[in-house]
Structure 1
Amino acid sequence: MTASCAADRGPARPPPARPRIRAIAFDAFAILDPRPIAALAEELSPGKGALLSEAWRTRQFEYTWLRIASGEYADFWQVTRDALVFAERLLSLDLGEEKRARLLGAYLDLGAWPDAAPALRSLQDAGFRLSFLSNFTPRMLDAAIESAGLGGLFEHVLSTDRARTYKPDPRAYRMALDAFHLEREEILFVPFAGWDAAGARWFGYPTFWVNRLGLPPEELGVTAGATGASLADLVELATAGP
């Protein structure tokens, strides 16, 4: 390129600045540890606990997606109970009401992953606004925050039940936009599941997938912007310099 051509085009312009992340919205299981539920399933159905947990979890989310598609909404507590009953019948188990109630009740007594509270406090101290954005009902989220000792860390506790839908419906992800009054590029979404990472990316959120189980990404044509094995990895990324 000649000097005259370069002059005609004017001085080089720096690339536009990336929008700064101002808020972080978390899926429940990115913070809450579900492993005690699986342990209780093994205790109540020895030798079949892993199968029960897998069938229960799979049907739980399949029911949410079916209910979105059909327009037949039921809240996540009802969906969780229905999925447990199906899993029990699938495996020819007879848990009875008492054991079934104990398994459901475990959702109201969840603790946090060991890295969760320190990471959340570090993010809060760094100036990030924090929220849950979960399929859990408000009752389930409130109980989990209390049992996990996470009070005072979240500006918003967003349950998709208020929109009568489930992720990955765009109406569910939009709840964080409406709550924070920010642009979607300013809200980082932190999922536990690969499908949730894909849903958030489709919606347009920057996404950090806490891939605690070391799973491959879903084959859905999108991937999380960043991935880590723990919330400590998220803190490192979020608090790094420009």
Structure 2
Amino acid sequence: MSLNRRQFTKLMVGGMASSLLPSSVLAQGTTKNNIKAIAFDGFPIFDPRPIFGLSNTLFPQQGKQLAQLWFSKIFGYTWLRTAGNHYKNFYAVIEDALIFSAESLKINLSPNDKRMLMEAWLNLKVWPDVKAALLQFKKNNIRLAFLSNFTEEMLRRNAKNSGIDDMFEFYLSTDKVQAYKPSPLAYQMGVDAFGLPKENIAFTAFAGWDAIGAKWFGYPTVWVNRLGKPIEKMGIAPDSTGKNLNQLVDFVLT
């Protein structure tokens, strides 16, 4: 195919301009999903398994059952409170759910037992793959935030526990909007904080229902399905699913 002078000049100028751009800018422009920021739920970052372990240690006969009921009741309470417009912060909801679960199983929950189980939520550490993934995002100028039901104090303390607190630009707690996920009010915090269209913000979920909520809202959504759960049957699916943050790295940076 022959080129006239105008076409040739346009190609040359475009090529020269591209060669002068920083590699990070070029990488952002060619990322297949055009992601400029990531909003994380808490649990793709923080490993909750020590809470289950502590429950088993304190109550060898019923610890597993207690932890399962407790976690289920926590999110049941958040959904009920949001639906009924009676918000209460997440740490308080966790305590209410623990008391209910212990009473349901007829477990004698001493004040010290309760204190230890509650404090475990403030002493979480990150999953093994987290730090390397976050460093890759920072290297590529991807902005990072938490967008979580956790209180801001819970997010900051747990991030500091593992030395990742300076990697996050925003600590967005549902306390700010007084509505838990999957309310659109909760997901909107990411758009407002980053000042970006939702299409440029990847949401990273731990729970299947959270992945569905984020996808309904309009975020490109990656489900970090660390527990190998089946997908929720809601007629919609996350954009990408994997067992760890490697899938998120691939989704955002390749």
Stretches of structure 2 that go unaligned for 5 or more consecutive residues are 1-30
- Cα-to-partner distance string for 1:142-170 (whole Å, 9 max, x where unaligned): 11111122121101111111111100000
Tell me if 1:177 matches 2:191.
yes
The equivalent of 1:188 in structure 2 is 202
Greater CA drift, 27-36 or 42-51? 42-51
Partner of 1:39: 53
Matched AA of 2:86: E
Report what 1:158 is aligned to. 172
SS at match of 1:29: coil
**Structure-1 residue corresponding to 2:229:** 215
SS in 2 for 1:54: helix
Other-structure match for 1:72: 86
Say yes or no: does 1:202 pair with 2:237: no
Residue 60 (1) aligns with residue 61 (2): no
Q: What is the rounded CA distance, in whole Å, between the counterparts of 2:79 and 2:120 in structure 1?
A: 23
Q: Which moved more, 1:145-154 or 1:28-37?
A: 145-154
What percent of counterpart residues are identical? Answer: 46
Describe the superposition over 1:84-117 as per-residue Cα deviations: whole angstroms up to 9, x where unpaired.
0011011100121111010000000000000011
Q: Partners of 1:145 and 1:36 in 2: how far apart?
A: 16
Residue 237 of structure 1: how far off its partner (Å): 2.6
Deviation at 1:221, TM superposition (A): 1.5
Task: Give the CA deviation at 1:181.
Answer: 0.3
SS at match of 1:33: coil
Q: In structure 1, what is the equivalent of residue 17 of structure 2?
A: none
The aligned counterpart of 2:3 is none
Determine the C-alpha separation between the residues in 1 that align with 2:137 and 2:97.
35
Residues 156 and 165 of structure 2 are in contact (CA less than 8 Å); yes or no, is this contact kept in structure 1?
no
Show structure 1 runs of 5+ residues with no match: 1-16
Q: Which residue of 2 aligns with 1:239?
A: 253
Equivalenced residue count is 224
Amino acid at match of 1:44: L
CA RMSD of aligned residues (A): 1.2
TM-score normalised by the chain length of structure 2: 0.86
Letter in 2 for 1:48: Q
Look up the match of 1:10. Answer: none
